[in-house]
Amino acid sequence: MSLKINAIQPRSLASKAGIKKGDTIISINSMPINDFFDLEYYSNDYQLDFELLDADGKPKFISIERLNGKSLGIEPEPHNVRTCHNHCIFCFVDQMPPNMRSSLYVKDDDYLFSYVFGNYITLNNLEPADIKRIVNQHISPLYVSVHTTNPVLRQQMMRYKDNYDIVKDLRELSQKGIEFHLQIVALPGYNCGEQLDKTLDTLLNESIAALSIGIVPVGLTGFREHLIPLSPFNSDLALETLKIIDKYREKSPIVYGADELFLLSEMPIPEAEYYGDFPQLENGIGMLRLTMMNYQKKCKSFTRELDKAGGNFLLLTSVLANSILEEIANDLNTRLKQAKVKVQAIRNNFFGGNVGVSGLLTASDILNQVKPLSQESIIMTENIFNTDGLTLDAVSQLELRNKLQVPILIVDPYFEDWEWI
């Protein structure tokens, strides 16, 4: 195994030492280098002895003294993402509409991406060598999809071939110093109710080094024609699930319910103390509370921003979060002198109408449902766009602005900053 170099930053340590684009790293200090994580892990010493092959396949040996952790300036080839071999009956990727960006159809089950980016993995696709590496390199914490600790039910829900006991691996890895953020995707008729109760009891009583346990309701789109029929969450089940969560929070505060459960059951969003250090924000747990907290901190400067622009503003939101954004809009309107804000909830027709979170809104639904008046600006959340500034249906921020023909104020999903486009 080896790692090819895609680029070398100018005037970097690697560049000055003679390492070049197209070189292949075989080892550092005699440790084999297979991926970006090995490169980072084994290059932390002061004295680094590289074994490489140049672009023509000729061996070369280079030594670098790395002072004060200065960047080497090596950009390796893109990581070959390990994909999932399960066939979960609730897999969101299987419910995606056709003809979208290819990256949206990747079923990631990569433990390195779990550690680096917080992506959830299933553990049952790991080989013994992977387990050994996780322990030896202390790749921790990992984000793990448990769903249920009942081995038979888990196999039924995830449809993998071999028998597998996730509790055994969680316990053994915990004994070797690996910690976990765990998630349970709650699926009506499968792992809710009594099964959820048993799962939480097991996770909190089996010497598992859990840092957090998040329970999120299953997401179902309108693209399930050839998939196993499943039932969506309703308000009664959301309330029952929250009661089970509360029962276990009395034993441990690391158990959390997703924001969606509170919205579906029409229960108030918990105060900040409920979420601790907000360990599962990316899982939709605590996002609304953090948004409300940051709004209170930034409301004066945000009010000045809107008053400076003046006129009417249309604040776009998902159907699910509409009531929370109405609260923010009402508060803004008591403060504003030169502007006024009203809220419009966007129905997610793109995914079939059952998906209620703002991060999955698309440009097509916005364009079909929003008809801004002249002299009216739009406020929308940044999490509609990916890191390249594209919506799920591949429309850029500038394209969306041009099609709406009004100014757009993009607000960070946690209300930390904003920007006009």
Per-residue DSSP letter, 33: -
Q: What Rg value do the Cα atoms of the chain yield, rounded?
A: 24
Are the CB atoms for 289 and 324 separated by under 8 Å? no
Distance CA 292, CA 416 (A): 11
The position carrying tokens 């980016």 is 117
- Would you state the pLDDT for residue 1? 78
- Would you state the pLDDT for residue 305? 96
CA–CA distances in Å: residue 113 to residues 68, 125, 128, 394: 26, 14, 18, 24
Are the CB atoms for 141 and 173 separated by under 8 Å? no
Distance CA 375, CA 369 (A): 18
Q: What tokens does 78 get?
A: 């893109």
- Would you state the pLDDT for residue 98? 83
To 5 degrees, how large is the angle CA 353–CA 265–CA 288?
A: 75
Q: Mean pLDDT of successive 10-residue segments in the chain (421 residues)?
A: 94 96 97 97 95 96 91 96 95 88 88 96 95 97 98 97 94 97 98 98 94 97 91 96 98 97 96 97 94 95 95 93 94 96 93 79 94 87 91 93 95 92 92
Are the CB atoms for 377 and 311 separated by under 8 Å? yes
Cβ-proximal residues to 351 (8 Å cutoff; 6+ apart), any chain: 95, 97, 221, 222, 223, 360
Distance CA 202, CA 182 (A): 13
- What is the torsional sign of CA 390, 393, 395, 397? negative
- State the chain's maximal CA–CA distance in angstroms: 71
Other C-beta atoms within 10 Å of 402: how many?
A: 12
CA–CA distances in Å: residue 51 to residues 23, 137, 147: 10, 21, 44
Question: pTM higher than 0.85, yes or no?
Answer: yes
- Would you state the pLDDT for residue 104? 84
Distance CA 317, CA 413 (A): 11
Cβ-proximal residues to 99 (8 Å cutoff; 6+ apart), any chain: none
Question: Domains (ranges, CATH) in the chain?
Answer: 3-76 (2.30.42.10), 93-285 (3.80.30.10), 289-420 (3.40.50.11850)
Q: 363: number of CA atoms within 13 Å, CB side?
A: 19
To 5 degrees, how large is the angle CA 59–CA 64–CA 70?
A: 135
Q: What tokens does 191 get?
A: 């792992």
- Would you state the pLDDT for residue 278? 97
- Would you state the pLDDT for residue 375? 78
Q: What is the DSSP string of 302-343?
A: HHHHHHHH-EEEEEEEESTTHHHHHHHHHHHHHH-SSEEEEE
